[in-house]
Amino acid sequence: MRDFSYRLGQVTYIGKVRCMGSRVIIRSSLQVTTPKGAALDRYVEPVTLTVMESFSIPDGLDEVFLWDAMLAKQYLTIAQGYFQTGTRYCAVNTAAHGRMLDESKKYYQKGKELFLKLGNDASASEVDRLLTLIEAIRTNADYGLAKLQFDEYYSINYKIMKSCICLEDGFDDQYKCVTLK
């Protein structure tokens, strides 16, 4: 069993990874809180999302490869938490908005580096698309364009998250990208 814990500003991401034979079970929670200094009318209670995942380890899979893939997924989840904090709670073109998106980009970049290490060039390329999109979202105040950008962001992010670990045994259809509702 391995535990992981990240407490980074408004984003807390904790979880446990258990291996039972050839199965891996992950229980993780992502909590996002309102940034300090946010307008009181935008304050909400902390949002916590808990995700349970289970999948089979293919025979012969290198353990180091598995844990690197899991770490990449953790980086992407943290990046998504910062992105959602910045876009949900911070006004566009403010310092807080910029800081949150910068943190998001930093963790996407860490995930990209792991993808390159693992030889997953396709996902690394998708992360580059996300980084470009986040930069466009940073300065956009047009609602219509923003909706299109957010739709594209979530589509790319979902695709990348699924590429970290291939879920099997029917869980693939049940996998959901972590989103705030």
* Parent domain of 97: 2-174
When pLDDT is averaged across residues 14-35 and rounded to a whole number, the result is 71
Confidence of residue 126 (pLDDT cuts 50, 70, 90): very high
Supply the pLDDT for residue 37: 58
**pLDDT beyond 70 at 10:** no
pTM score above 0.85: no
Highest average pLDDT, of 54-63, 69-78, 120-129, comes from 120-129
The count of other CB atoms within 10 Å of the CB of residue 39 is 10
Alpha helices, DSSP H, located in the chain = 63-89, 95-117, 121-139, 143-164
Within-domain flag for 116? yes
Within-domain flag for 181? no
User: Under a CB-based contact definition with an 8 Å cutoff, are residues 165 and 54 in contact?
Assistant: no
Supply the pLDDT for residue 18: 76
The region of weakest confidence among 27-31, 60-64, 133-137, 177-181 is 177-181
Within-domain flag for 97? yes
The region of weakest confidence among 26-30, 54-58, 90-94, 177-181 is 177-181
Distance CA 85, CA 25 (A): 27
- Considering its fold, how many domains does the chain have in total? 1
Within-domain flag for 12? yes
Within-domain flag for 146? yes
Distance CA 64, CA 161 (A): 19
b/e 48-60 (16+ beta carbons within 10 angstroms → b): ebeeebbbeeeee
Confidence of residue 106 (pLDDT cuts 50, 70, 90): very high
Within-domain flag for 179? no
